Amino acid sequence: MLQTNKPVWLSFDRLRESSNRLEERRERLKTVAMAVRQKAIATLPKLIRSMRKEVPKQTNLVLPSLRRAFSLYDQINLIDNVPEDQLRFQEFDETNFTVNGVKYEGSLLCVGNLLMSWSPRNFSEITTDSLSIFQTVRPIPELLVIGCGRYNQPLNPQVRQFVKSIGMKLETVDSRNAASTYNILNEEGRIVAAALLPYGVTS
């Protein structure tokens, strides 16, 4: 009887050892799983922040409204919601300019990265009054580029003297070349201003 029972007791011992090993493995797996979970929880806020940074900003392509910028200058209105990045003329037609993906109708005045509507609708309306904003702008732009419309035209000597008295250099060209000149100088970081009539203006 003793000989027949001995193998049975050995089998129970082996089962107990196997059970103990399985229990140890379960504990190790629980420990590893807990460590992985804690690490995932710790990195989750960083992951969320990085995903938020990668979401591109939506660009508002609706034509911005106009509001009065300077009460002393009835001809000039500041355009709201100008894109935050550097201004760049992209397209133009007879009556409009496209700046940073937004189409603006009529004449425009740019000072650095500030974009404004401008009162003159033809070349004869470019007067000292229409440029009087430069008496208050600081820092003073080193160059004012005037876009005369489709063709370059000689500017009134009184207007030239006015611009010179402020401390700016002056260049008059057609509006297409004026926009290109502004783009190049603005990208170089120069303090430049541009006053542009629509390209369709011929007089």
Residues 138 and 189 in one domain: yes
Q: How far apart are CA 141 and CA 189, in angstroms?
A: 11
Same domain for 84 and 5: no
CB atoms < 10 A from the CB of 130, how many?
18
CATH code for the domain in which residue 93 is found: 3.40.1230.10
Q: Does residue 202 belong to any structural domain of this protein?
A: no
* Longest distance between any two alpha carbons in the chain, whole Å: 131
Q: Based on the domain organization, do 191 and 91 belong to the same domain?
A: yes
Pairing verdict, β 143-147 and 192-196: parallel
Q: How many domains does the chain have?
A: 2
Q: Return per-residue pLDDT of the chain as tens, 203 residues.
A: 444 444 444 455 665 666 667 677 777 777 766 766 666 666 656 655 555 544 344 333 333 333 333 333 333 444 444 445 688 898 889 999 999 889 999 999 998 778 999 999 999 999 999 999 999 988 999 999 999 999 999 999 999 999 999 999 999 999 999 999 999 998 888 899 999 999 999 87
C-alpha to C-alpha distance for 60 and 41, rounded to whole angstroms: 36
- Give the span between the Cα atoms of 75 and 127, in whole angstroms: 11
Is 6 within the bounds of a domain?
A: yes
Q: Is the full-model pTM beyond 0.85?
A: no
Structure tokens at 154: 């000689």
- The structure tokens 């005369």 sit at 148
Q: Are residues 91 and 148 in the same domain?
A: yes
Alpha-carbon span 163 to 144, nearest angstrom = 8
**What's the pLDDT score for residue 83?**
43
The answer on 138 and 170 residing in a single domain is: yes
Query: Cβ distance 87 to 186 under 8 Å?
Result: yes
Q: Is 201 within a domain?
A: no
Spatial contact of 182 and 144, defined as CB atoms under 8 Å apart: no
Task: Show the domain range for 127.
Answer: 66-196
Picking from 142, 131, 153, 161, the residue whose alpha carbon sits closest to that of residue 203 is 153
